[in-house]
Chain A
Amino acid sequence: MTDALHRPDGEIEAAAREPARRRSRSPLLDWAVFVLLLLGALSMCAPFLWMISSSLKVPTEIFKYPPALLPEHAQWPNYSRIFMLIPFGRLILNSLLVSLAVTALQLLVCSMAAYAFARLRFRGREALFLLYLSALMVPSQVTLIPNFILVRNLGWIDTYAALILPFAFSSFGTFLIRQAFMTIPKELEDAARIDGASHAQVFWRVMLPLGRPALGALGIFTFIAQWNNFLWPLITTTKPEMQTLTVGLAGLRGQYNTDWALLMTGSVLAILPIFVVFAVGNRSFIQGITSGGFGGR
């Protein structure tokens, strides 16, 4: 994990070195800035550290006042307890399954649409693209109720279909990948076409491999968003064995509302996998946010 965290980021470093070359800087000011940033980073980390520390305490330590910063003896059994009290393994499995399925589907569906928009000519292309884009302005809460009614009428409450299918397409994803596909030189595609490749073959063999950075960014973005998704699984699941991690965790708050060690244990288990995913892919994730036409310049 540390390796990925400290991986040099060429882009940012190059830009950051520029001012240094411009004029010599006072080392004192550099130190002040560093200390300031470190203090900020500490306040970003502190709640997480407190979560980990609390997750390893016994109940008597939890309610000690003033609180001790660290547990006297780390209570690792806290982590097996949560799996015994609620079907926590199943929750993790559900979240993993739903997040992976949504990610895979969205990558496929969005990149197919993106290929049509970026490369193929057909009537109504611009109009349809604008229609897709206009969906970006609609907050998800507007479609929440009709989608719930639809899923309910289909008998999909407590099914994976309900958790996965509504997220299989995204306007944002289509836009992001279309932008990436537009930057791929057309000559590569033409060469394949002359060799007799069909559109499907060009898409699969040329566009997808060359669009990998954008696909990676969208993939990580989608996985994290789905893992953390809350409101939709909250209303479309009723059985504990169909709930996702976030819904189960929120339920835990109602059930064991004073068992803070348990609640912190659950939080650690919900956050840690995402930190690992982010540590592996933070570069492409952040690039995905800042490029692709959104943000940045």
Chain B
Amino acid sequence: MKLATGWLALLAAISGAAQAGSPVSGKDAFEARCSACHAESGWATRVLKRRLPGDQAVLARRTGLTGAFVKVVVRHGTGSMPQIRKAELDDGTLDAIARYLEGPK
């Protein structure tokens, strides 16, 4: 018998740390939870490039994002992006991601 390690454990650690109120790296959480679509080569980046100029399509480099906006988009979805619910991405992790995306680039 083998118990889950690797990816699952990473996600659990990030999620668990957020719930426990300990510091979470927004960058790590973004890369673990968002980059499948929002990495430079991700489909969401390709979709955003149809709508935004240059680097603004790459969220990790986008300027002018507010944390509040990020949180609304994640919970409600936008365009072709489905919403992501609390049971899937807890509020603490979402806060960390929002702070990371809001921060200086």
B and A form one assembly? no
